[in-house]
Amino acid sequence: MTTAYTGGCRCGAVRYECSAEPMFPGNCYCRQCQKASGSGHVSAFAVPREALTITGEVKYFDHKADNGNTASNGFCPTCGAPVLGKSSGMPGLMAIKAASLDDPSWFKPGMNIFTESAQPWDPMDPDLPKFEGMPEL
């Protein structure tokens, strides 16, 4: 991808722009992502932090990840929409929630992670690699 892509929250108070190639695109089925999304999984990808321009206030909810790192879910404090994520284990990266993209149609997940927590009512793409936990990246 060579052109910038944009996104934000439901109400428009949080916006972002990035032109970096998406890294590690996938679907996360961990219980924290299920609770944060209100669904069976979260679709997201990572980008270098310095390549991401964010406008507006992002509120973060921190929790301890299964690997002991602090994971932070970023959302709009006005409308509550999940937009971003970060981890103390990968401080130079930010995660972008695919549903927050202005045009999410180009997002293509490349893996399913934390499949051991997947719900039986949320089907997975059988063609994607599956990892019970977090793979080595």
Does the residue 30 lie in any domain?
A: yes
Residue 24 lies in a domain: yes
Instruction: Find the domain containing 98 and state its range.
Output: 5-117
89 within a domain of the structure (yes/no): yes
Number of domains in the chain: 1
Residue 10 lies in a domain: yes
Q: What is the CA radius of gyration of the chain?
A: 14
**Between vectors from CA 96 to CA 95 and to CA 97, what angle results, nearest 5°?**
115
| Contact assessment for residue 4 and residue 44, using Cβ atoms and an 8 Å cutoff | no
Q: The CATH number of the domain where 49 resides is what?
A: 3.90.1590.10
Predicted TM-score of the model (pTM): 0.93
- Side chain identity at residue 4, one-letter code: A
Question: Is residue 14 situated within a structural domain?
Answer: yes
Task: For 8-60, write each residue's pLDDT tens digit.
Answer: 999 999 999 998 999 999 999 999 899 999 999 999 999 999 999 999 999 99
pLDDT at 137 over 80: no
Residue 88 included in any domain: yes
DSSP string, 60-111: EEEEE-TTSPEEEEEE-TTT--EEEEEETTSTTEEEEEGGGBSSGGG-----
Residues making up the chain, counted from first to last? 137
- 76 found inside a domain: yes
